[in-house]
């Protein structure tokens, strides 16, 4: 029996058979082509490749492409080969969760601006964050631009779409008191604490997970950030199938050199003496993946007696303390591995308010005091 919406069947001999429209004969009847394989996924891939070949030759029959079919092809052939596994998994999830269910019975050539606008309104009604809606739309737009290049889409229905206003995130940081309490708990850990690494180096959780002792140059007192660890969905047939992926950092700017303070150097040297692993933060002498770090963090938060929070707040706390101590925004951006100074400014504008107030007060001292002038005359 075919899977719903697909011309793919399992034959009696155990093989899978895929059917596609090859063309029409002189009487106008449809001519079908067939592909075969031992596995369903192999047949599906073959169908995608065959259809792509027909598109390139300009066959009219296959120009009536369903959004779902094109989405599958686009993800597999254009996205997967050029992005990280974690990015592909995120794209696949957004497509299968939001885009495909809404447009599943729509043909590309019939898509209109109002269809996409209604889709955006539907997403807004689901109370999704504006950033999430914008990410979904960006993904849909990329997919449609690719379809247009293949002459499967006429016009540009993705233009002039009203998107929800960007919502400014409120960046929270630990108070100095809560930081002290959490730090006291972390310093009592037997192994190297990811809490200390994030509070005093500003590292992301995946960067901490992938950090090796060989990345630390104790002589020059610097650490090189050159990998990240994430848990990624690797099978989209089963709901919970995930694997740990060790990959390059998030962006080119995320490859960076972070200086170490004297106290952090002493702390790390002490932990290295007792370590039996290549990794700085460990679980059973291997790397501690992000969800293990999060689980331990929740336990530490509870022991410290502070409000329940998330691990990423430590990175925000690092940035906030840097700003409070007068760190210039360019240096902070480099330390955090942001793609631009603008990104750092957008995130930490409110945190810099006190610094700006201090600057204004200093300038105030330069201004001539009107009352002093009056008395002098």
- Token pair of 15, please? 């093989």
Q: What is the pLDDT of residues 229-252, one digit of tens each?
A: 988 776 555 566 778 888 888 778
- Rank 1-15, 111-125, 153-167 by mean pLDDT and report only the highest: 111-125
Q: Which two tokens stand for residue 207?
A: 């960067």
Reported as a pLDDT band with limits 50, 70 and 90, residue 54 is: low
- pLDDT confidence tier of residue 353, bands split at 50, 70 and 90: low
- At 136, list the tokens: 């979904």
- Torsion 311-312-318-321 (CA) sign: negative
Mean pLDDT of 207-223: 96
Neighbours of 176 (CB within 10 A): 12
pLDDT, position 60:
47
Residue with tokens 């331990």: 296
Contact 94, 136 (CB under 8 A): yes
How far is CA 253 from each of CA 226, 257, 316, 338, rounded to the nearest angstrom? 10, 10, 18, 6
Residues comprising the chain, all counted: 377
What pLDDT was estimated at residue 352?
A: 66
Nearest to 135 by CA among 165, 91, 96, 170: 91
On whether residue 374 sits in a domain, the answer given is no
Residue 140 and residue 101 share a domain? yes
* Lowest mean pLDDT across 27-31, 32-36, 56-60, 326-330: 56-60
**Mean per-residue pLDDT, 243-267:** 89
The predicted model scores a pTM of: 0.71
Q: Which of 14-23, 56-65, 125-134, 291-300 has the highest mean pLDDT?
A: 291-300
User: Do 333 and 184 fall into the same domain?
Assistant: yes
Whether 262 and 185 share a structural domain: yes
For residue 170, is it within any domain? Answer: no
Asked whether residue 375 is domain-assigned, the answer is no
Q: What is the 3-state secondary structure (H, E, C) of 199-210?
A: HHHCCCHHHHHC
Which segment of 116-125, 142-151, 209-218 scores lowest on mean pLDDT? 142-151
Helix (H) or strand (E) holding 229: strand 228-233
Does residue 100 contact residue 67 with C-beta atoms inside 8 Å?
A: yes
How many whole angstroms separate alpha carbon 134 and alpha carbon 163?
A: 7
Question: Using CA atoms, how far apart are residues 118 and 20, in angstroms rounded to an integer?
Answer: 31
Same domain, 122 and 236: no
Q: What is the DSSP letter of 164?
A: P
Confidence (pLDDT) at 239: 62
**CATH number, domain with residue 316:** 1.10.443.10
Give yes or no for a contact between 304 and 195, defined as CB atoms under 8 angstroms apart.
no
Model confidence at 177: pLDDT above 60: yes
Compute the half-sphere exposure of residue 173: CA atoms within 13 Å on the CB side of its CA: 22
Rounded to an integer, the average pLDDT of 48-63 is: 57
Same domain, 185 and 332: yes
Q: Which strand (E) or helix (H) includes residue 309?
A: none
The residues facing 282 across adjacent strands are: 287
CB of 249 closer than 8 Å to CB of 225: yes
Whole-angstrom distance, CA of residue 20 vs CA of residue 18: 7
- Which tens digit of pLDDT belongs to each residue from 126-175? 999 899 999 999 999 999 999 988 878 878 999 999 999 887 677 789 99
The model's confidence at residue 62, banded by pLDDT at 50, 70 and 90, is very low
Which of 132, 149, 166 is a domain's end point? 149
pLDDT at residue 356 is higher than 90: no
Together in a domain, 191 and 128: no
| More confident position, 323 or 3 | 323
Nearest-CA neighbor of 247 among 292, 297, 294, 204?
A: 204
Asked whether residue 358 is domain-assigned, the answer is no
Average pLDDT taken over every residue of the chain: 85
Domain end call among 149, 167, 199: 149
Q: What is the per-residue pLDDT for 99?
A: 96
Domain containing 110 — which CATH number?
1.10.150.130
Which residues, including other chains, have CB under 8 Å from residue 96's CB and lie 6 or more apart? Answer: 236
Q: Would you give the DSSP letter of residue 251?
A: S
Say if residue 317 is in the same domain as residue 211. Answer: yes
At 220 the pLDDT is 96
- Checking if the pLDDT of 357 tops 80, the result is no
Statement to judge: residues 41 and 97 lie in one domain: yes
Q: What share of the chain is helix, strand, coil (3-state, %, to 5)?
A: 50, 15, 35
Q: What percent of the chain has pLDDT over 70?
A: 85
Does position 343 have pLDDT exceeding 90, yes or no? Answer: no
Q: Does residue 353 sit in helix, strand or coil?
A: helix
207 and 111 assigned to the same domain: no
pLDDT digits (tens, 9 = 90+) for 273-304: 999 999 999 999 999 999 999 999 999 999 99
Q: Is residue 28 very low, low, confident or very high in pLDDT (cuts 50, 70, 90)?
A: low
**pLDDT of 319 above 70:** yes
Partners of 16 in the β-ladder: 10, 37
Q: How many domains does the chain have?
A: 2
- Give the integer Cα–Cα distance in Å for 187 and 189: 5
Model confidence at 377: pLDDT above 70: no
Domain shared by 291 and 199, yes or no: yes
Let me know whether 278 and 202 are in one domain. Answer: yes
In this structure, the answer to whether residues 132 and 232 fall within a common structural domain is no
Q: For residues 201, 206, 208 and 212, what is the CA-based torsion angle, rounded to 10 degrees?
A: -130
Q: Examine residue 357 and state whether it is found in any structural domain, yes or no.
A: no
SS3 250: coil
Decide if 160 is inside a domain.
no
Question: Is 364 inside a domain boundary?
Answer: no
Most confident of 19-23, 77-81, 372-376: 77-81
Domain membership flag for residue 321: yes
Give the mean model confidence (pLDDT) for residues 182-210.
96
Q: Which domain holds residue 113?
A: 8-149
Which residues lie closer than 8 Å to 342 by C-beta, 6 or more apart? none
């Amino acid at each position: 029996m075919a899977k719903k919406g697909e011309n793919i069947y399992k034959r009696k001999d155990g093989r899978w058979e895929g059917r596609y429209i090859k063309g029409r004969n002189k009487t106008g009847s449809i001519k079908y082509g067939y592909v075969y394989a031992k596995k369903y996924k192999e047949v599906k891939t073959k169908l995608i490749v065959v259809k792509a070949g027909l598109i390139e030759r300009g066959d009219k029959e296959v120009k009536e492409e369903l959004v779902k079919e094109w989405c599958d092809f686009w993800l597999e052939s254009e996205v997967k080969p050029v992005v990280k596994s974690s990015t592909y998994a995120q794209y696949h999830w957004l497509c299968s969760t939001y885009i495909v269910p809404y447009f599943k019975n729509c043909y590309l050539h019939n898509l209109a601006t109002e269809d996409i606008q209604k889709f955006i309104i539907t997403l807004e009604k689901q109370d999704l964050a504006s950033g999430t809606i914008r990410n979904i739309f960006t993904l849909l737009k990329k997919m449609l631009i690719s379809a247009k290049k293949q002459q499967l889409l006429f016009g540009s229905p993705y233009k002039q779409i009203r998107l929800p206003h960007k919502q400014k995130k409120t960046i929270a940081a630990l108070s100095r008191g809560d930081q002290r309490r959490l730090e006291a708990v972390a310093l009592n850990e037997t192994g190297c604490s990811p809490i200390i690494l994030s509070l005093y180096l500003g590292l992301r959780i995946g960067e901490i997970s992938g950090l090796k002792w060989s990345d630390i140059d104790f002589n020059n007192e610097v650490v090189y950030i050159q990998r990240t660890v994430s848990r990624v969905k690797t099978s989209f047939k089963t709901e919970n199938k995930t694997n740990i992926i060790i990959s390059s950092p998030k962006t080119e700017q995320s490859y960076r050199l972070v200086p170490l303070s004297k106290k952090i150097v002493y702390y790390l040297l002490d932990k290295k003496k007792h370590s039996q692993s290549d990794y700085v933060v460990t679980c059973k002498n291997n790397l501690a993946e992000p969800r293990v770090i999060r689980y331990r963090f929740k336990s530490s938060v509870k022991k410290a007696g502070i409000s329940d929070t998330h691990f990423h707040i430590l990175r925000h706390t690092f940035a906030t303390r840097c700003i409070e101590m007068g760190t210039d925004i360019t240096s902070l951006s480099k330390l955090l591995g942001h793609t631009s100074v603008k990104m750092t400014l957008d995130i930490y504008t409110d945190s810099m308010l006190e610094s700006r107030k201090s600057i204004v007060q200093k300038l105030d001292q330069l201004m001539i005091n009107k009352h002093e002038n009056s008395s002098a005359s």
